[in-house]
Structure 1
Amino acid sequence: MRTMRQDHGIVKERLVQGLALAMLLLMGLYAVAGPSGLIAWGENQHLLEQQRAKLASMKLERDHWKNRVKLLDPKNADPDLAGELLRSNLNVARSDEMVMLLH
């Protein structure tokens, strides 16, 4: 027959095993659904691809503006671009030119 001490030891052992199982389940849940878990990893990959596409677009725009700045260098300005900017921003045209607005 079991004594009280043996019953208390079995209860204590089962309690420790239950707590250990609960901790393992929580860790598994955290690994799947936590902030750095499997679900978040897939979402982060999607966001990363979006940001890479945005970065590529911004690099193209930056290169475009770098070229415009280079063409407008005061020491060596591109005459075609300077004329285009004068005509568009100041509405300047010669008397022999015909202006066609395209919208």
Structure 2
Amino acid sequence: MWTRHYKKKIYGRLVLPAVAVAFLSYFGYHSIHGDYGLRAGQALEKVRLERAAELAELVHRRTVLEKDVRLLSDGSLDEDIIDEKARYQLNMSRADEIVIFKSYF
């Protein structure tokens, strides 16, 4: 009875660790650089902070405009406010006046 003896090849021992390293490298790379990775999360956070600042500015502008609307409502018509708005819209003033424009936007 003949028996064949095979030499243990060194390459056979390295196949499983090589596959494991490739698998972990692939998923490790995409966990940092992928569409949902750490860098994408940082970019999303940056955009969120920019939009939050923009929202705060818009809320402030809205409160200023709501205040102006309340002053111009029918119940409490203020002649000074009407005069100020008319002069600002028509870009007119008298010769003896000094005009300082305050921009709301």
Compute the TM-score of the two structures, normalised by the length of structure 1: 0.66
Give the structure 1 partner of residue 39 of structure 2.
Answer: 39
Structure with the larger helix share: 1
Give the structure 1 partner of residue 74 of structure 2.
Answer: 74
Bigger RCO (CA 8 Å, 6+ sep): 2
Report the count of equivalent residues: 94
Q: Which amino acid in 1 is paired with 2:6? A: R
Answer yes or no: is 1:2 the counterpart of 2:9. Answer: no
CA offset digits 1:17-55 (Å, max 9, x no partner):
644542322111110111221122222222222221111
* Segments of 4+ moved more than 4 angstroms: 16-20
User: Structure 2: any 5+ residue segments left out of the alignment?
Assistant: none
Work out the CA distance in 1 between the residues paired with 2:61 and 2:33.
38
Give the structure 2 partner of residue 54 of structure 1.
Answer: 54
Report sequence identity in percent: 21
